[in-house]
Amino acid sequence: MRKRVYFKNFDKVLFLTPVLIFIIGILSIYSASFKAHEMIQQTLAVKQMLWMGIGILLVFLIARTDYFRLVDWAWPVYLFSLLLLLAVFFVPARLGAHRWISIGGVFNIQPSEIAKLAVILMLARFFSNNRPEFISKARLAQAFLIVAVPFLLILKEPDLGTGLILIPIFLSMLYLWGYSAKKILLMIGLGILAAPLLILFLKDYQRSRILVFLNPSMDPLGAGYTIIQSKIAIGSGGFFGKGLFSGTQNRLQFLPEKHTDFIFGVIGEEGGFVASCTVLFLFWLIIRRGYQIAGQTPERFGSSLACGMTTMIAFQTVINLGMTMGLLPVVGVPLPLVSYGGTSVIVTMICIATLINIKIHRPLF
């Protein structure tokens, strides 16, 4: 009986859609990082496929375990993520930032990616144990503290993009919990008003990114170079694209960070409008299905988990595409399942697995 329920409720669309996105990503990574003299097993694409293999295995393992057991894991995972965020400062900086921890010199983990999952898990536990109409202000402050501690540690790395994603995650879960929409809008308004003060705490390169977002031509060979080249790559792809390995911005090395943060530039140039819209549609399917699961889950813990994880994928996608197309400042956020990076792939697939799990095991009342 359990097997029949498992296979009947296993969301095949939610499983296959990330796989399709990943395939597009693998082709783009292989094109972006192609070197004629490199053995196939040494390519970034093969390494990314190994990470995805682990991610798919996790989907089937996590989907079989009742998600209610995650309540007991909330505190241990949260504390572990904080330890990793602290440990990263004792590791030598790479590219001017403390974001990665090397494991045996073989692979790297990014603690801020794990911290996003930990925050979602802790908030879901908090919201499931408290009701908005009976909670005190002191108790509610604990929810803000759950987000604030990792947020400040991530900003210190510095990793502004990942830190900012914690904000919509928190606000969406707060709204689903039943917190006043007016109060949430007030917080957003105050945040917008206070945003100029944030510039005082930003690094020089972060200030430059904001300024070139407003006017990319002010430094076309410096801070504005990446945005300009990315827009040229996407625009030059036309309707059907130039074809795999045929993108001039990609092959002639004009586009920086083309296998990570600006991978969508490669997709736009080589796959054109058709490939770009396909990627957007596939992400829309995941996000739509995730919010449906959140809305159809009758108990607070599962509903909050689904909401937080879907919001994480949604805003990470929007921010990456926005900065790639010059609609948002460059903040160093990868495109889920597409950009090269093992930790990001694993974390995203854990979110997909949890959404599938919630649909399978949620109560029917």
Return the domain boundaries, the chain: 2-361
What does the buried/exposed string (b/e) look like for 229-252 if buried means 16 or more CB atoms within 10 Å of the residue's CB? bbbbbbebbeeebbebeebebbbe
Q: C-alpha angle 185/188/192, rounded to 5°?
A: 140
Measure the CA–CA gap between 70 and 122, rounded to whole angstroms. Answer: 10
pLDDT for 1 equals: 44
- Euclidean distance between the first and final Cα of the chain, in Å? 19
The residue written with tokens 């001017």 in the block is 96
Q: What stretches of 43-106 show up as alpha helix (H) in DSSP? A: 44-63, 70-87
Peptide bond into 168 cis (omega under 30): no
| The two structure tokens encoding residue 54 | 């682990």
Among 283, 299, 276, 259, residue whose Cα is nearest residue 352: 283
Per-block mean pLDDT, blocks of 10 residues, the chain (365 long): 59 94 93 73 84 93 89 94 93 76 76 94 95 87 95 88 92 93 90 75 69 69 77 87 81 79 91 94 97 93 96 96 88 90 92 94 77
DSSP state of 200: G
Among 31, 102, 106, residue whose Cα is nearest residue 259: 31
Distance of CA 69 to the CA centre of its chain: 24
Q: Around Cβ 168, how many Cβ atoms within 10 Å?
A: 18
DSSP state of 93: P
pLDDT for 350 equals: 95
Q: Are 252 and 258 in contact (CB under 8 A)?
A: no
pLDDT for 225 equals: 80
Q: Are 249 and 233 in contact (CB under 8 A)?
A: yes
Q: Around Cβ 24, how many Cβ atoms within 10 Å?
A: 18
Among 236, 239, 238, residue whose Cα is nearest residue 250: 236
Q: Are 337 and 285 in contact (CB under 8 A)?
A: no
Helix%, strand%, coil% for the chain, nearest 5: 70, 0, 25
Among 86, 72, 99, 113, residue whose Cα is nearest residue 309: 113
Among 280, 266, 350, 352, residue whose Cα is nearest residue 318: 280
